[in-house]
């Protein structure tokens, strides 16, 4: 059942529809929507899709903002389904995605709007991100536990390296041509979609601007649930589904093999890691491995060994 509260139906059609799937993280959702209503550019609507299993509607002050449309998608259908519902309800020509645990950076919509007007042929934009990692192993993470560890800027050929909440903006017509998120992918649904979009020859562009603030490693984050990626054979399924395109686009295949090896090494599955890494080596482009994944591989291997050995490595005091 879908319940819809449409508070903006009578207003002018917005330039952006920002789809925000959420599932039981009200504090994070408040922060995410707060980052949207603080934008200098205001010609947008916020489509919040509540994917909790309960039939009780959310009662949050942020949902009362004039730009918010609240859709109740009772039943916990998953993030792909929630985003698809948001896409179907979007009224703007351009659709953006914001996960409820992330924030839009200041004035990103203004920067994105200028980029769209400057290059009418581009139908797929994304931005750089500032990543915050929790400096704590606590179940409840406070603001003081977060530290900026990484700033990522991307190039125009990095479209299959990013996730949906990377300042991504797609023309709604792209979904009409390429389809929506594949609901058979509980995780990795964004990677699969972006490989599919690029296989259709959609023109894409990276904006050299920090558009998204991402909060990584909190206990509820799906994109770092490597066990689910491994158990559901997400990358193997992507390779099978897009075999022809990946065969003709070795750099894209290389990128996904690198991610697959990182997933399995972090999950402690060194047998599959070895297989994907050997396949990766047959493609060449060794430098890009070090550029993209070597640091992460070492980090994940160290974390895995630490877990296995039960070691506690204390940080040096300042």
**pLDDT score, position 262:** 78
Per-10-residue mean pLDDT, the chain, length 318: 45 92 89 95 95 80 91 84 95 96 95 97 94 58 51 78 91 96 95 96 94 74 72 92 92 83 75 67 55 48 49 35
**pLDDT score, position 135:** 56
Region(s) of the chain under CATH 3.90.550.10: 2-224
Supply angle C-alpha 152, 155, 158, rounded to 5: 90
Residues 6+ apart with CB under 8 A from 62: 29, 30, 33, 34, 37, 68
**CA distance linking residue 52 with residue 77, whole number of Å:** 8
Beta strands in 51-192 (DSSP E): 68-73, 94-97, 103-104, 124-134, 146-152, 169-171
User: Domain 2-224, what architecture?
Assistant: Alpha-Beta Complex (3.90)
Helix spans in the chain (H):
26-37, 79-89, 108-118, 172-178, 189-199, 226-231, 234-241, 243-248, 250-266, 270-281, 286-289, 295-309
Closest CA to 87 of 97, 75, 77, 78: 97
**CA distance linking residue 48 with residue 46, whole number of Å:** 6
How many CA atoms, within 13 angstroms, populate the side-chain half-sphere of residue 234?
26
How many CA atoms, within 13 angstroms, populate the side-chain half-sphere of residue 239?
16
Closest CA to 20 of 1, 54, 58, 9: 58
Q: Is the pTM of this model over 0.85?
A: no
How many CA atoms, within 13 angstroms, populate the side-chain half-sphere of residue 54?
7
Supply angle C-alpha 24, 28, 30, rounded to 5: 100
Q: Which two tokens stand for residue 285?
A: 């482009």
**CA distance linking residue 156 with residue 150, whole number of Å:** 20
**pLDDT score, position 220:** 56
**pLDDT score, position 285:** 53
Closest CA to 165 of 145, 141, 194: 194
**pLDDT score, position 253:** 86
């Amino acid at each position: 059942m879908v319940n819809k509260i449409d508070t903006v139906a009578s207003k002018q059609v917005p330039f952006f529809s920002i789809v925000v799937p959420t599932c039981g993280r009200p504090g994070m959702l408040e922060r995410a929507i707060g980052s949207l209503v603080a934008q200098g550019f205001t010609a947008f609507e916020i489509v919040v899709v509540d994917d909790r299993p309960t039939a009780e509607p959310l009662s949050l002050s942020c949902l009362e903002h004039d730009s918010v449309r609240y859709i109740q998608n009772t039943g916990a259908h998953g993030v792909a389904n929630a985003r698809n519902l948001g896409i179907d309800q979007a009224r703007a020509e351009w659709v953006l995605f914001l996960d409820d645990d992330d924030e839009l950076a200041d004035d990103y919509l203004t920067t994105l709007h200028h980029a769209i007007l400057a290059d009418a042929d581009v139908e797929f934009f994304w931005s750089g991100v500032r990543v915050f990692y929790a400096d704590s192993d606590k179940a409840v993470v406070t603001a003081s536990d977060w530290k900026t560890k990484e700033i990522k800027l991307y190039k125009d050929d990095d479209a299959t390296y990013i996730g949906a909440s990377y300042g991504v903006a797609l023309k709604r017509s792209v979904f009409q041509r390429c389809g929506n998120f594949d609901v058979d992918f509980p995780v990795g649904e964004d990677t699969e979609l972006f490989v599919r979009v690029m296989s259709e020859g959609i023109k894409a562009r990276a904006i050299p601007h920090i558009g998204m603030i991402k909060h990584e490693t909190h206990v509820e984050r799906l994109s770092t649930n490597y066990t689910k990626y491994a158990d559901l054979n997400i990358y193997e399924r992507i390779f099978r589904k897009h075999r022809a395109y990946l065969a003709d686009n070795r750099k894209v295949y290389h990128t996904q093999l690198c991610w697959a090896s990182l997933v399995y090494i972090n999950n402690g599955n060194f047998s599959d890691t070895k297989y994907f890494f050997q396949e990766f080596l047959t493609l060449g482009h060794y430098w890009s491995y070090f550029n993209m994944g070597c640091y992460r591989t070492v980090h994940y291997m160290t974390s895995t060994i630490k877990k296995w050995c039960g070691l506690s490595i204390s940080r040096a005091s300042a």
